[in-house]
Amino acid sequence: MHSGTTVARAPGALPGVGHLAAFLRAPLAFLRGLPAHGPLVEILFGRQRVVVVCDPGLTRRMLVQDRIFDKGGPLYERLREAGGQGLASCPAHEHRRQRRLIQPAFQQSRLPGHARVMSERMDALVPALGNGRTVDLTVETRKIAADMVISAIFGTGLDQAVHQRLAEDFHTLLAGFTRYSLTPAPLRKVPLPAYVRYQEATRRVRRKMADLTTEYRARGTGGERNLLSMLIEARAPESDQPALSDDELVDQAVTMYSAGTETTASAVCWALVLAARHPDVQRRLRDEIGTVLGGRTPGWEDVPRLVYTRQVFNEALRMYPPGWFLTRTVEADTTLGPYALSKGATVAFSPYLTSHLPTLYRNPEVFDPDRWTPGERGPEIPTGVFGGGARKCIGDGFALVEGVLLISALLSHWDIELHPDGLAAPRLPQLTLNPGRVRATLRARGSGATAAAGTARTARPS
């Protein structure tokens, strides 16, 4: 690093491993402890130095300089193995072109159409979950969220078996992602069963997406308006050549699936779990959903009236932001505030850390959906949960609608009885902050049984 204020190193680095053991043991507690050491804090993953930006102002400043703080670092290197050079992982010089092509599919005016598809799919999937069945809510919400994203990409006609296979491989990929990313390159070549499973799942997800894309193209878009049809029809500027090659289409399909499934599912699941542990919140949520929906599946026109549901979703996003630890690579010697950073440095930021800063949120450890009461001063969504600058989440509007629709659809049809021993802390670190296994029994609303609100003991991820 060149001259400038020195970045403090977090205490507790051990020879050889640095802070890796502490990070892997209890990543959230580790992150919460970092701001005490300064606005920028250096940590060591083995020999790899990572500068964690702990100050929200400096995080924003970093995110808007996306050409200097480019996508890179161990997480994005792994993401490229699955999603190639798709929108989420491509470098800045490629990003503007892709974002321009894809943005129309996510603009505000498209949300009612997305919501209609979501509602149609939820109507097929949510009531079919099965009265009296005991399920893992993490798995079920993920399956439904995967269906939402796949339907937005390919339209609604996919076979359920395809969904199932993709979901299984994707689960393996996500479960191993962060651990695999933090493993030094030579060790990743060791054929440990977990690594082999991860690599094979990555290859299968990509291959399946390639098959689906080829089939879709061969079938013709038939006038459908979905993400893939828009990308297939997109033309390069001043030419009639396709703007994206076949490989690039697959990159985008894998990217949307990876970026859009587990994120929303995880926040929805946390919202259900947190509400169940807070009987007052649960009661208000049920009252609102009962009044607005009267037992049916929600649609776009219900969203503005599901105000408290949105507050609960927001608060779940704040407490457990799905994208919790993200990295960048410094492309040229630069400064961030008074700190000098050298080309090649790895910088990280953490929406989890930001959303637990007492300077931004009073009692950040407390689950309080009333923070998000409309008209209260402050942001409308938790600061930083969707990133910022040019690389801000393209699916933020999609996710906010989907979250409200899915929470309300589930609670409109089901009383969800969490099992007291049903919550197992997730094996962190994972790519998203999902709550781990959540065992719950579903009872049709109005069937007489009541939800055991507040009775569950939660193994809180640390």
* Residues at the contact surface with ligand HEM, assessed by CB under 6 A: 87-88, 99, 149, 255-256, 259-260, 263-264, 267, 317, 321-323, 326, 351, 385-387, 391, 393-395, 398-399
Would you give the distance in Å from CA 391 to the centre of its chain?
14
Task: CB nearer to ligand HEM: give 96 or 133.
Answer: 96
Task: CB nearer to ligand HEM: give 18 or 387.
Answer: 387
* Distance of closest approach, residue 131 Cβ to ligand HEM, in angstroms: 29
- Using DSSP, state whether 356 is helix, strand or coil: coil
CA distance 298 to 82: 34
* Distance of closest approach, residue 391 Cβ to ligand HEM, in angstroms: 4
Q: Which of 108, 63, 134 is nearest to 328 (CA)?
A: 63
Q: Are 369 and 281 in contact (CB under 8 A)?
A: yes
Task: CB nearer to ligand HEM: give 69 or 453.
Answer: 69
- Using DSSP, state whether 179 is helix, strand or coil: helix
**Number of helical H runs and strand E runs in the chain:** 17, 11
What contacts 64, CB < 8 A, 6 or more positions away? 388, 389, 390
Which residue's CB comes closest to ligand HEM? 395
Measured CA to CA in angstroms, residue 442 lies from 133, 197, 291, 423, 427 at distances of 6, 32, 21, 15, 25
* Distance of closest approach, residue 128 Cβ to ligand HEM, in angstroms: 23
What contacts 223, CB < 8 A, 6 or more positions away? none
Task: CB nearer to ligand HEM: give 142 or 391.
Answer: 391
Q: Are 141 and 265 in contact (CB under 8 A)?
A: yes
* Distance of closest approach, residue 153 Cβ to ligand HEM, in angstroms: 8
Task: CB nearer to ligand HEM: give 137 or 451.
Answer: 137
* Distance of closest approach, residue 122 Cβ to ligand HEM, in angstroms: 15
* Distance of closest approach, residue 400 Cβ to ligand HEM, in angstroms: 7
CA distance 151 to 132: 28
Reading the block at residue 352, the tokens are: 């989890």
CA distance 83 to 258: 8
Beta-strand ranges (E) seen in 95-245 are 134-136
Task: CB nearer to ligand HEM: give 330 or 453.
Answer: 330
* Distance of closest approach, residue 215 Cβ to ligand HEM, in angstroms: 21
* Distance of closest approach, residue 431 Cβ to ligand HEM, in angstroms: 11
Q: Are 241 and 235 in contact (CB under 8 A)?
A: yes
Number of alpha carbons in the 13 Å side-chain half-sphere of residue 252 = 27
Task: CB nearer to ligand HEM: give 226 or 441.
Answer: 226
CA-angle at 82, arms to 78 and 87, nearest 5°: 90
Task: CB nearer to ligand HEM: give 279 or 397.
Answer: 397
Q: Are 39 and 53 in contact (CB under 8 A)?
A: yes
* Distance of closest approach, residue 319 Cβ to ligand HEM, in angstroms: 12
